[in-house]
Structure 1
Amino acid sequence: MFRKVLFPTDFSDCSYKALECVRQMRGAGVEEVVIVSVLDERDTDLVTTGIGWLSGDRMVEYDAGIERRMRENVQELLDGMVGVLRGAGMKVKTAIEKGVPSVEILAIAKRERASLIVMGSHGKSNLAGVVVGSVSEEVLRRSSVPVMIITREMQGGCRSEGEE
């Protein structure tokens, strides 16, 4: 039923919990996984906004340098996740995008023709009863394919091998 999974990650504990769920889906017929990390343009823009003493070409060069280093760090983390999934016999691709996370995730799901989106959600909101974070909520609301949300509060479900 689900052959191709889109797995967006922010490298949080919930994302690693979701990674384990995706790994275990190999036994259910999942053949391919696209792991995506989105550099939130609102965060990357914030980093350089406070640097008023740079302008023009220097600012562009500084921005490019920061983004390049961020992409290198993200790729290193993605490579670790790729190893886990390839070790389970899955075909894996990665993507690093810059933009609004929910928008980019939905665009990649469509472009890749994903049959399922699996993502972790740490629910950053302090509101009582709110378990799903804003990015996962937006993806859940707007996705044309099924979405599986893995939360930190999730009991049972996907466990690492050997875990009771």
Structure 2
Amino acid sequence: MKRILVPTDFSEYAENALKTAALIAKKNNSEIYLLHLLDLPNQMNDAITAGSSIPEVMLFIKKANEKLQKITEQTYLDGLTIYTSVQFEKAFDGILTFNKKNEIDLIVMGSHGTSGMEEILIGSNAEKVVRMSEVPVLVIKKDAKDLKFENFVFASDFSEETVIPFKKMLEFTKAFNANLSLVTISTPNSFKNTLEAEQKMNEFVKNYEIENYSLHLFNDSNIENGIKNFSKKINADLIGICTHGRTGLAHFFNGSISEDLVNHISKPVITFKI
């Protein structure tokens, strides 16, 4: 986890994401890439495509770079390597393009409380990034000063297709020496027998060297509520789930969690692509 991407719209939510990225970077000796995306009016985009430099475009670039420079001078970033970039793309496309071009290992995104993404992350952009990103995406809801990753919940069905995201999750967990609670959610529509579920989880984890972990089967009305309520029960600091690009957010347990999970749960959520 050497390269961390933080998209910013200069809001307080983006700053919360950057503060979190700084904590992670200091734990892992990582570099931070701070990205601002300019979605300009069509006529300005046409000018850029044609190679023109119109005054309005140059002003946007200048102001954005000035704001980025000011951000890099914040004390919580002291000692870290920070790269800044301004690009002319829509949020979703720009984040994924930058991610591939710069071989990013983790994306950290800010969110507005429990009511959804704001500014550059508005509407379906965040859901698309979470669903389509090939690298883990960490969504942050609050100021990093209150964050701690001591109790980490990872919800899964522990099937064969979750092996790769599980390995990525373990890499993240080790950086914080977190207590790991591995949970399968049993619902009326997808009932799990306790003995069979425990056997499946034990068979899955025996292939890995894991410290400070526990296995759980939790019953609830649906998977989304199960993850929320189990996380609340154990006072989790962070929730991890798998994502599946074909069907949306967190496809597992022979079903799919509502894409509202990231928006509506108050705790930080990190997603790992299957």
Q: Normalized against structure 2, the TM-score is what?
A: 0.44
Hey, which of these two has a bigger chunk of helix by percent? 1
Q: Which runs of 5+ in 2 are unaligned?
A: 149-274
Aligned mates of 1:67, 1:100 — CA distance in 2: 16
* Backbone CA RMSD of aligned residues: 3.0
Partner of 2:88: 98
- Superposition deviation, residue 88 in structure 1: 2.6
Q: Between Structure 1 and Structure 2, whose CA radius of gyration is higher?
A: 2
Aligned mates of 2:93, 2:63 — CA distance in 1: 22
Asked if the contact 1:136/1:149 (under 8 Å) is kept, the reply is: no
Partner of 1:161: none
Over the matched positions of the two proteins, sequence identity in percent amounts to 25
- How many residues are matched? 138
Partner of 2:42: 45
DSSP-derived class of the 2:126 partner? helix
Partner of 1:131: 116
Aligned mates of 1:117, 1:85 — CA distance in 2: 22
Report 1:1-164 matches (<5 A): 2-41=1-40, 44-45=41-42, 64-84=54-74, 87-122=77-112, 130-132=115-117, 133-134=122-123, 135-151=125-141, 156-157=146-147
DSSP-derived class of the 1:113 partner? coil
- Superposition deviation, residue 75 in structure 1: 0.5
Q: Which runs of 5+ in 1 are unaligned?
A: 49-56, 124-128, 159-164
Asked if the contact 1:102/1:136 (under 8 Å) is kept, the reply is: yes
Partner of 2:212: none
- Superposition deviation, residue 110 in structure 1: 0.7
Aligned mates of 2:111, 2:68 — CA distance in 1: 18
Aligned mates of 1:33, 1:86 — CA distance in 2: 13
DSSP-derived class of the 1:26 partner? helix
Aligned mates of 1:45, 1:23 — CA distance in 2: 35
Asked if the contact 2:25/2:32 (under 8 Å) is kept, the reply is: no
Structure scoring higher RCO (CA < 8 A, sep ≥ 6) equals 1
Partner of 1:53: none
Instruction: Summarize the Cα distance change of 1:20–1:86 in structure 2 as closer, same or farther, 3 Å threshold.
Output: closer
DSSP-derived class of the 1:40 partner? coil
- Superposition deviation, residue 12 in structure 1: 0.8
